[in-house]
Each structure stands twice: as C-alpha cells, then as structure tokens.
C-alpha cells in the first residue's frame, strides 16, 4: 500500500458479490450487506462501484470486475474457495491493490483465511470498512484484521445502495410467491437473541438484537414503492416479530401502502395479535424454522421450541388467512431413521403449503462446527465448496458427500430419507407444496 494521503474521491472501491452456482437461482435473493457497505462508503466520499457476479461464468469475471484500488469481497462458507480464486486473479492484475474479505466466513474463521486477502473485516462491516479505507487512503498498512463495532442506532445507516445495480439484479421475479413479480428484499433488524446450535448468525451479531425504528423501515419501503414501483417485499430478518410492540407499529404504518410481503420468524415469537397486524399490513406468507419433526432433535440443537408450539403457530397463521412455509433440515444431531415419514406426517397434519428442506451442514460459526463431538458428530470434510445445503433439493446433487459423520444415521440412510427419493418413489403426493423441489425452494 503505497498511497500517500489521496483524496477520498480518488480511492476507487469495488465491492464484489460472488456467484453462488450451488443455489437454484443465485439472483433470487439480494445480498443486502454489500449494498449497505456501498451506501456507507459512497456517503463518506469514496468512488464506489458494485460488481455483481451472480449468474456469471468464471471466464467472464475478469472483464466484469473493473480495475480498482480496493476490492471488497463478501463470502459465506461455500463461496470461500471461489472468492480466493477471484482475489488471486485480482492480485495478478493489480498487485498493489487492497483485497478485503468480509462476511460470515472470514468472521467465523479469521485465522484460516488465505493471505491473498491483505485486509479482513470481521463482524458488522460499515464502521470497519470506513476505518480500513481511511488507513489505505493515508498509507497506513500496519493492520490486516479490522473488527467491526456494532452500530447502536441502525437508523444512522443509509438505505442499501440499490441504485448501483441494474433493476433486474435487485428486484427478482421469484423472490416471493410464484408469479408475484419483482420483489424487494428489506431487513429491519440485525441479530437474533437465540443460539440454536446449528446456526452461525450468533458469530456475526453476538446475539445483540438491534432494531431499526418503525419510521425508518416505513421510509425505506415508501422510497422503494415511489422510486421503483415495487409493491412486493421479502423481509429478511432472522426474527422480525421478536419485539411485538415495534412489529405492531411497523404494521400499522405499512397497512395503508397496499403492499404484500413475506416474513420469517420463530413459532414462539408469534401470537394472534401479531398475526392479525401482519395480515392487515399485507403479509401473505410466514416462514417458520421448525428444523426437525423430532422433539429430541430440537432439544439437542437448543432450538427452544416444541412441536406442539409449532403446530399451534401454524394453525393460528392459517386461521388468520396466511400461508405457511416451513424450513426443515435433515441430518441434525440425534436424528434417527424414519425422518422422512415424521416430516411427511407433520406436514400433512399441519396442512402446510410449502416446505424448504435442506441437508444439515455444520457451518463455521455454529456451535456444532466448533464442538462436533459434543453432538456426536465427526467432521469429515473441510472442502468448503461442499458446504452448501441443497442436497435433497436438486436431483443432480444427491450423490454429494456429507461433510460430517452422523451419530445415528449412515450417509446412505440420510440420502434415502431425503424426501426427493420419496418423491421419486411416489410414496406421497408432494405436488401440493412442491411442484418441483429444485425451483420451489426460496433458499
Ligand atoms: C438473508 C440470508 C440469505 C439470503 C441472502 C444471502 C445474502 N448473501 O445476503 C439467501 C436465502 C440467498 C441465503 C443463502 C445462503 N445462506 Co444465508 N443468510 C441470510 C441471513 C438470514 C441474513 C443475511 C443478511 O442480509 N444480513 C444483513 C446484512 C446487513 O449482513 P451481512 O450480509 O452479514 O453483511 C454484513 C457483514 O457480514 C459485513 N460484510 C459482509 N460482506 C462484507 C464484505 C466486506 C468487504 C466487508 C468490509 C464487510 C462485509 O458487513 C455487512 C454489513 O454490516 C443470514 C443470517 C444473519 N442474520 O446474518 C444467513 C446466513 C448468512 N446464511 C447462511 C447460509 C449457510 C447460507 C447458504 C450457504 C445456504 C445454502 N443454500 O447452502 C446460502 C449462501 C448464499 C450466499 N452466498 O449468501 C449462514 C452462513 C453460515 C456460513 N458460515 O456460511 C447464515 C449465517 C445463517 C445461518 N443459519 O447460519 N442467505
Ligand atoms: S436458527 Fe433462527 S432462531 Fe435459531 S439462532 Fe439462528 S436465526 Fe436465531
């Protein structure tokens, strides 16, 4: 880094969204984190652009990424090896560049990151990005790792810089209900107060749940309606209903806007009043993380819910006139043969409209990855390109290796319990909630 006190506008920052070819459609969901960072750096005076590699082929990456002084790349675990290759290509092209890696993978495993990244941002990125850019600008290259400090007042962060990407990259046609049309992703809070053993959210947000104010959320949604004529929204919070008074306030502000949206939450963070408010505001679908149809497995994973609670929440949601989507994972610690039957029974009994089934992957950042033996598992594969959880959803993937050895089920049993096999065997008519498992998932 040999820059001597450049002006901020002379520092060119390129923020890169990697492709996620393991997803059914990697353009379906917008990575809001990168667009928040773009907005913050732009407002601070830097020259910012965003290179969106989603849906692109590797041979086009070089031309798709404009030459810059600083590259900021985001990565979840299955993206890691791919972004190392991209960073190596950027280093070859521009050896003096600053190549920063941020996001959950770097945050979870900071000591294992390839040295092609000469800057690492751990945790929440906005403040840390400004510090690293300032150090770069003044030629201070003494530090490689920057730890993000939590921003207390989320309303002080500008809205994500959606205008830096083409419309179709931001508002995907299939992000919400099928046939809904272009949809905006919005996130109204950061963090989750829970600590499910299979979830890595806590390593990023430290169970420090912070909320944007109802006014701030309302302004962003109104801005999207006015600027882009979008009325479909997908609310990406981990648990948007955690604070009921705030939810009530948001819903009453949104009610007159004539929008429709989907939220995700926990079955123990919902009650009939919250459901009525959501419905009045335009909510059509609630996605609940149930994870397993086996109570013992939920207990081992510290999910903190009961199947009875789940059934009650689903019934209340239906009674209020909304549809439910359930997230399930196959292969959590303690699961036993018979999973598929239990899952099918649960779905049948609750008359759930949609199911997203993922295979379990112990992700860096979650407790099971840190302490597999405590859960009776052995990690057997550290090839991070295999750390995505679509096995069972896409037929071409069913032979992929599991990344761990389960305590009670062999790989073969896990594969056989994956309902795609049941679908093939036509044991049950899945068509009610999944016309085509590869495209119906919204993960
Ligand atoms: C919405 C969401 C999705 C969406 C959108 C993904 C996206 N890229 O944003 C969809 C459905 C596509 C998705 C897919 C997947 N997800 Co997801 N997802 C989330 C969720 C719930 C919220 C993400 C979010 O918007 N956060 C809000 C923004 C503001 O935060 P952020 O993105 O983390 O960015 C901040 C910091 O990370 C940092 N930062 C990030 N990048 C960079 C880059 C630089 C240069 C800098 C300086 C800073 C920086 O600064 C940002 C601003 O503060 C998180 C859980 C959570 N609450 O974080 C899981 C989570 C990130 N997902 C997870 C997983 C496992 C996946 C999948 C791998 C699942 C799969 N199919 O196999 C894929 C990976 C796809 C991908 N590359 O993202 C895990 C990650 C675990 C891990 N070790 O990788 C998480 C933590 C959930 C969990 N249960 O553990 N996901
Ligand atoms: S799985 Fe959901 S409820 Fe559990 S810690 Fe993660 S975000 Fe919170």
CA of 198 to the centre of ligand 2 (A): 8
133 and 194 share one domain: no
46 and 120 share one domain: yes
The number of beta carbons lying within 10 Å of the beta carbon of residue 208 is 14
Residue 431 in this model has a pLDDT that exceeds 50: no
Q: Please identify, by atom number, the ligand 1 atom nearest to the C-alpha of residue 389.
A: 72
Q: Whose CA is nearest to atom 77 of ligand 1?
A: 76
This prediction's pTM = 0.95
Q: Whose CA is nearest to atom 6 of ligand 2?
A: 199
Q: Note down the domain range covering 143.
A: 8-147
Helix count and strand count (H, E) for the chain: 17, 16
- Is the CB of 265 within 6 Å of ligand 2? no
Does residue 75 lie in a domain region? yes
- Write the CA distances from 429 to 251, 391, 397, integer angstroms: 36, 20, 22
Calpha distance 216→250 (Å, rounded): 9
- Is the CB of 190 within 6 Å of ligand 2? no
- Is the CB of 192 within 6 Å of ligand 2? yes
- Note the pLDDT tens digit of each residue in 112-168: 999 999 999 999 999 999 999 999 999 999 899 999 999 999 999 999 999 999 999
Does residue 426 lie in a domain region? yes
Does residue 155 lie in a domain region? no
- Is the CB of 189 within 6 Å of ligand 2? no
Residue 442 in this model has a pLDDT that exceeds 60: no
Total domain count, the chain: 2
232 and 361 share one domain: yes
227 and 283 share one domain: yes
Task: Read off the CATH number of the domain in which 40 is found.
Answer: 3.40.50.2300
- Ligand 2 pocket test target in 201, 202, 313 with most atoms within 8 Å of CB: 201
Q: Tokens 């950061």 map to which residue?
A: 190
329 and 182 share one domain: yes
The number of beta carbons lying within 10 Å of the beta carbon of residue 107 is 23
Burial class (CB in 10 A: 0-12, 13-18, 19+), 114: middle
The fraction of the chain above a pLDDT of 90, given in percent, is 75
């Amino acid at each position: 880094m040999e820059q001597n006190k450049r002006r901020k506008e002379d520092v060119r920052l390129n923020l890169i969204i990697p492709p996620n070819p393991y997803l059914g459609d990697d353009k379906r969901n917008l990575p809001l984190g990168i667009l928040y960072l773009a907005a913050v750096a732009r407002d601070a005076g830097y020259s910012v652009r965003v290179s969106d590699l989603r849906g692109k082929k590797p041979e086009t990456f070089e031309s798709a990424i404009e030459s810059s002084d600083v590259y900021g790349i985001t990565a979840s675990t299955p993206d890691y090896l791919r972004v190392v290759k991209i960073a190596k290509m950027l280093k070859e092209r521009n050896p003096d560049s600053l190549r920063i890696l941020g996001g959950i993978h770097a945050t979870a495993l900071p000591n294992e990151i390839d040295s092609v990244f000469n800057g690492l941002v751990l945790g929440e990125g906005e403040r840390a990005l400004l510090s690293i850019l300032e150090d770069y600008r003044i030629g201070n290259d003494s530090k490689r790792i920057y730890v993000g400090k939590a921003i207390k007042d989320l309303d002080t962060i500008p809205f994500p810089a959606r205008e830096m990407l083409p419309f179709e990259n931001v508002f995907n046609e299939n992000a919400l209900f099928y046939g809904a049309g272009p949809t905006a992703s919005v996130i109204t809070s950061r963090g989750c107060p829970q600590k499910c053993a299979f979830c890595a959210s806590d390593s990023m947000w430290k169970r420090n749940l912070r909320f944007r104010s109802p006014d701030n959320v309302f302004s962003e949604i109104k801005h999207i309606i006015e600027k882009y004529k979008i009325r479909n929204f997908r609310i990406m919070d981990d648990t948007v209903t955690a604070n009921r008074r705030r939810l009530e306030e948001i819903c009453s502000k949104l009610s007159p806007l004539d929008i429709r949206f989907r939220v995700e939450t926990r079955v123990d963070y919902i009650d009939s009043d919250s459901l009525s408010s959501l419905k009045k505001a335009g909510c059509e679908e609630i996605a609940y993380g149930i994870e397993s149809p086996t109570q013992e497995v939920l207990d081992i994973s510290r999910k903190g819910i009961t199947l009875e609670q789940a059934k009650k929440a689903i019934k209340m949601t239906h009674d209020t006139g909304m549809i439910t989507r359930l997230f399930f994972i196959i292969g959590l610690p303690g699961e036993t043969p018979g999973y598929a039957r239990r899952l099918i029974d649960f779905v049948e009994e609750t008359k759930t409209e949609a199911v997203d089934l993922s295979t379990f992957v112990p992700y860096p950042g979650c407790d099971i990855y840190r302490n597999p033996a405590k859960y009776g598992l052995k990690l057997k594969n550290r090839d991070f390109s295999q750390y995505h959880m679509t096995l069972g959803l896409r037929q071409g993937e069913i032979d992929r290796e599991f990344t761990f050895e389960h305590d009670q089920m062999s790989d073969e049993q896990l594969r056989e319990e994956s309902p795609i096999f049941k679908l093939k065997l036509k044991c049950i008519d899945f068509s009610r909630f999944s016309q085509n498992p590869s495209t119906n998932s919204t993960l």
